[in-house]
């Protein structure tokens, strides 16, 4: 399994955590996870979204558990998913009253594969430690792992104030930004120690420390990775919409993953109105795949196009092939082991087309402007056919499907 990892840096050693049968850390491949944005009390909507996220490739799915109605819905969601054959561990996201919800809803406590708690907002200030301890004790009783998820938007203010005062007493050796980063790291580590003192095993604890700035994220996780050996969940919080969120998440997490840091990732993208929630799973997979850490789907290599391509045939073909592959992958993955390692090339003209196509398992070089209207297809490095006429795209899509199925 560790053979997937091709960074020049050694993978950071971490204690593996079994989350409902999915290993996080301990040398396991980096796990892709996601989170629903349905009201968990809406059982139909949540089941549909969890199933869609899992079908897209999410190996863990987190759901919000914020009130009695959502806690009561969790075991029903678990059962409905099981009846649909959707076998994905569910993670419960708790804030403020998680200790109470878990105590009042044993079915929820049992159905979840992991509890996520935020030490910055577990309960009310004066009862904070007690409520944190209650959740940890519940995790011990139900034999569930816990993610202690620090978030700078809800950072423990007492800890931050103490570190700010110490910094002042010492003559300001650190900037305010550095003190905040240190408070985030300390909050995660102190909370993990507290959970261990209560009796939660090290192999039941995952840590995260999410911030919204790329450089802050890199600095915080680099420090956290040095100071502990807990499995780490990477995520840039409030990453944003569209390309901004994708670039910021990929830049920050890519650097950390390259250094061997990170055992599971979630890319949090603000969905566009009516947008597809599974996009965040796809982006996580593409990040891990393009870096060579894991393989999820066949790679479709396509040239960017230029003045030699005056029609949109090749862009449409590349897009259709990519979409066909994603649509068919859930079935192909079970029928054709190793299918995810294939490479398909869709090229716009003769300049780089034949060369790139020969390096792919199957590739096509479409005719550019002024070229003979024919498209050579290469299979396993050899020219296998020449497509002509108005159905070149459809014919090639058929050949790709046949190649995979054969």
Q: Which range touches ligand SF4 (CB under 6 A), out of 41-49, 117-125, 231-239, 303-311?
A: 303-311
C-alpha 305/C-alpha 137 separation (Å) is: 58
Q: Which range touches ligand SF4 (CB under 6 A), out of 24-32, 148-156, 200-208, 343-351?
A: 343-351
Q: Is 305 in the site for ligand SF4 (CB under 6 A)?
A: yes
Q: Is 61 in the site for ligand SF4 (CB under 6 A)?
A: no
Q: Is 367 in the site for ligand SF4 (CB under 6 A)?
A: no
Q: Nearest CA to 236 among 257, 252, 223?
A: 252
Element (H, E) at 363: strand 362-365
Q: Is 291 in the site for ligand SF4 (CB under 6 A)?
A: no
Least distance between ligand SF4 and beta carbon 291 (Å) = 24
Cα three-residue angle 67-200-268, rounded to 5 degrees: 50
Q: Which of 139/344 has CB closer to ligand SF4?
A: 344
What pairs with residue 24 in β-bridges? 17
Could you tell me which residues come within 8 angstroms of residue 201 by beta carbon, excluding any fewer than 6 positions away? none
Among 31, 159, 303, 400, binds ligand SF4 (CB under 6 A): 303
- Exposure letters 309-330 (e unless 16+ CB within 10 A, then b): beeebbbebbebbbebbbebbe
C-alpha 10/C-alpha 373 separation (Å) is: 50
Q: Is 349 in the site for ligand SF4 (CB under 6 A)?
A: yes
Least distance between ligand SF4 and beta carbon 317 (Å) = 12
Q: Which of 66/356 has CB closer to ligand SF4?
A: 356
Instruction: Consult the annotation and say whether 108 binds a ligand.
Output: no
C-alpha 72/C-alpha 404 separation (Å) is: 44
Q: Is 348 in the site for ligand SF4 (CB under 6 A)?
A: yes
Give 3-state DSSP helix, strand, coil % of the chain, rounded to 5: 50, 15, 35
Q: Is 149 in the site for ligand SF4 (CB under 6 A)?
A: no
Binding mask 194-213 for ligand SF4 (x = CB under 6 A): --------------------
Least distance between ligand SF4 and beta carbon 302 (Å) = 8
DSSP state of 158: H
C-alpha 142/C-alpha 107 separation (Å) is: 11
C-alpha 251/C-alpha 217 separation (Å) is: 10
CB 125 within 8 A of CB 96: no
Q: Which of 217/318 has CB closer to ligand SF4?
A: 318
- Which residues in 242-281 contact ligand SF4 (CB under 6 A)? none
Among 82, 84, 247, 306, binds ligand SF4 (CB under 6 A): 306
Cα three-residue angle 234-237-243, rounded to 5 degrees: 100
Q: Which of 92/305 has CB closer to ligand SF4?
A: 305
Among 3, 8, 304, 337, binds ligand SF4 (CB under 6 A): 304
Among 228, 347, 360, 400, binds ligand SF4 (CB under 6 A): 347
Q: Is 301 in the site for ligand SF4 (CB under 6 A)?
A: no
Among 157, 311, 352, 374, binds ligand SF4 (CB under 6 A): 352
Least distance between ligand SF4 and beta carbon 257 (Å) = 29
C-alpha 377/C-alpha 388 separation (Å) is: 11
Element (H, E) at 219: helix 214-227
Cα three-residue angle 213-279-219, rounded to 5 degrees: 20
Among 133, 255, 313, 351, binds ligand SF4 (CB under 6 A): 351
The runs of H, that is alpha helices, within 232-373 are 242-258, 279-290, 313-335, 353-359
Instruction: Consult the annotation and say whether 303 binds a ligand.
Output: yes
Q: Is 360 in the site for ligand SF4 (CB under 6 A)?
A: no
Least distance between ligand SF4 and beta carbon 206 (Å) = 44
Least distance between ligand SF4 and beta carbon 298 (Å) = 20
Q: Is 309 in the site for ligand SF4 (CB under 6 A)?
A: yes
Q: Nearest CA to 93 among 123, 59, 70?
A: 70
Return residues touching ligand SF4 (CB under 6 A): 303-306, 308-309, 347-349, 351-353, 368
Which residues does the annotation place in the binding site? 303, 306, 349, 356
């Amino acid at each position: 399994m560790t053979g997937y990892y091709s960074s020049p840096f050694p993978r950071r050693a971490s204690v593996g955590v079994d989350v409902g049968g999915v290993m996080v850390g301990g040398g396991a491949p980096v796990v892709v996870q996601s989170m629903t944005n349905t009201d968990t009390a809406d059982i139909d909507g949540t089941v549909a979204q969890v199933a869609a996220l899992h079908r897209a490739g999410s190996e863990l799915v987190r759901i919000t558990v914020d009130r009695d109605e959502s806690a009561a819905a969790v075991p029903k969601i678990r059962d409905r998913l099981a009846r649909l054959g959707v076998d994905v561990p569910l993670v419960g996201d708790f804030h403020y009253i998680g200790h109470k919800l878990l105590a009042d809803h044993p079915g929820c406590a049992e159905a979840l594969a992991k509890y996520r708690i935020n030490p910055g907002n577990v309960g009310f200030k004066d009862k904070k430690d007690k409520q944190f301890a209650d959740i940890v004790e519940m995790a011990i009783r139900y034999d569930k792992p816990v993610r202690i998820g620090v978030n700078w938007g809800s950072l423990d203010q007492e800890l931050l104030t103490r570190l700010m005062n110490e910094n002042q007493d010492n003559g300001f050796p650190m900037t305010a930004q550095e003190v905040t980063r240190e408070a985030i790291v300390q909050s995660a580590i102190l909370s993990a120690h507290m959970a261990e003192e209560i009796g939660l095993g090290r192999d039941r604890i995952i840590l995260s420390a999410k911030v919204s700035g790329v450089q802050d994220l890199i600095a915080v996780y680099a420090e956290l990775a040095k100071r502990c050996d807990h499995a780490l969940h990477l995520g840039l919080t409030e990453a944003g919409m569209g390309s901004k969120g994708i670039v910021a998440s990929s830049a920050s997490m890519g650097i950390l993953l390259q250094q061997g840091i990170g055992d599971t990732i979630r890319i949090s993208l603000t969905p566009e109105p009516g947008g597809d929630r599974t996009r965040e799973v796809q982006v996580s997979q593409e990040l891990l795949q393009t870096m060579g850490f894991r393989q999820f789907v066949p790679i479709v290599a396509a040239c960017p196009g230029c003045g030699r391509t005056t029609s949109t045939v090749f862009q449409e073909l590349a897009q259709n092939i990519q979409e066909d592959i994603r649509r068919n992958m859930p079935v192909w993955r079970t029928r054709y082991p190793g299918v995810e390692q294939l490479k398909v090339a869709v090229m716009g003209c003769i300049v780089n087309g034949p060369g790139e196509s020969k390096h792919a398992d199957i590739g096509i070089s479409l005719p550019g402007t002024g070229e003979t209207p024919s498209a050579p297809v290469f299979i396993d490095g050899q020219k296998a056919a020449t497509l002509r006429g108005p159905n070149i795209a459809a014919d090639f899509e058929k050949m790709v499907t046949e190649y995979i199925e054969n």
